[in-house]
Structure 1
């Protein structure tokens, strides 16, 4: 039996993220989570929003760990995880009301971040929501000393990763017809960014 992976950060932040997204998702039905990681967020959100069909996704090597969380939860509205790599052209179909991703953009290379935005519009319905959680810089500056230290650690581990500038991310979103709805300050110097897609 596959051991369940565990992230303390997920345990720490899931309530605060849920508090912000739950009102926005009250009238939504299908969510695609990109980069589900351990699967903890998916289980927590699906359990607390039973009207939502939650679709996990991640790179193939992470799917077994996510599946362990899905199996233990036995939630009818939580689908088995699917393979998704932002470098691949094909994304899950049909289109989703919401695309959610947490702590992913600073792990990707900038090229992968660009691919993420170029492909996601194909999987997001008109007037759909994009919700992204994680650390961001503003006006080229870190929002805290701990974020500066984290960014240094990321770049030492992988020179192509790093905390992204909010302005650059928002530009990518606007290029595919997304409009910023909210920028929430979150615990541990993170942000929750929410955009809505235009009618095509």
Structure 2
């Protein structure tokens, strides 16, 4: 598991852009907290909502940028506050990860992930019940444990696709959130073990 100093060093060359978010952008906050050698990660389980394509999924706090958001990072900070009462304006902004297309083609926009450190004591989380079913801190070491690997089969446009992921509390972290974690882990020099799978593969 990477230390906080190693994470800072890896992300230092990747600061957040100081410019307005592009149309269709969604931003998420990958937030770390805890002792530098025993970090924890903030995750949420989204509330079940009709019409929400990510309904019930494990994720980071985040959502679509709004016209009043000065930057994409500002959108991530706002969403984290609205969804789990996490005050990232007071946290250490560690850097930004590469944007990820939303959906197989990216036609509906991009996801902009930002990484924060919220201090040695993980802040209390308060889930906004309309949007979030659960919010919690997960030991970061959980991501590298082989026994936590998993997959999920998902039907899309008549195709059965198999996605890799990480098991957490009886759920699977997969899709965009998994891809953010995979990108981040590679950047900090600690690739997720056995997670060299493609974003998806057809199984039927």
TM-score, normalising length: structure 2? 0.28
Ranked by relative contact order (alpha carbons within 8 Å, sequence separation 6 or more), the top structure is 2
